[in-house]
Structure 1
Amino acid sequence: MSFFRRATVVLAATTALTAGLALPALAHVTIQPGTAEQGGFTKVAFRVPNERDNASTTKIEVSFPTDHPLAFVSVKPVPGWKVKVTESKLPTPVKTEYGDLEEAVTKVVWEGGKINPGEFQEFEVSMGQLPEDVDSLMFPTKQTYSGGEVVDWSEAPKADGTEAEHPAPVLKLVPAAEDADGGHATASAGTSTLSATAPPSVTPVAAASSSSSSDGTARLLGAAGLVVGVIGVVIGVLGLRRRPSA
Structure 2
Amino acid sequence: MTHPTPHLTTRFARVRFEGHTFDATEQDGQLLLADGRLVTYDQVQWLPPLAPLARPRTVIALGLNYADHAKELAFKEPPKEPLAFVKGEASFIGHQQLTVRPADVAYMHYECELAVVIGRTARHVKKEDAYDYVRGYTVANDYAIRDYLENWYRPNLRVKNRDTCTPIGPWLVDAAYVHAQYGDPMNLALQTTVNGKVTQSGNTRDMIFDVPTLIAYFSRFMTLNPGDVILTGTPDGIVDCQPGDVIVTEIEGIGALTNTITLATLRP
TM-score higher than 0.5: no
Which structure's relative contact order is higher, taking Cα pairs within 8 Å and 6+ residues apart? 2
Larger Rg: 1 or 2?
1
Give TM-score, length-normalised by structure 2. Answer: 0.22
Structure number with the higher helix fraction is 1
TM-score (norm 1): 0.24
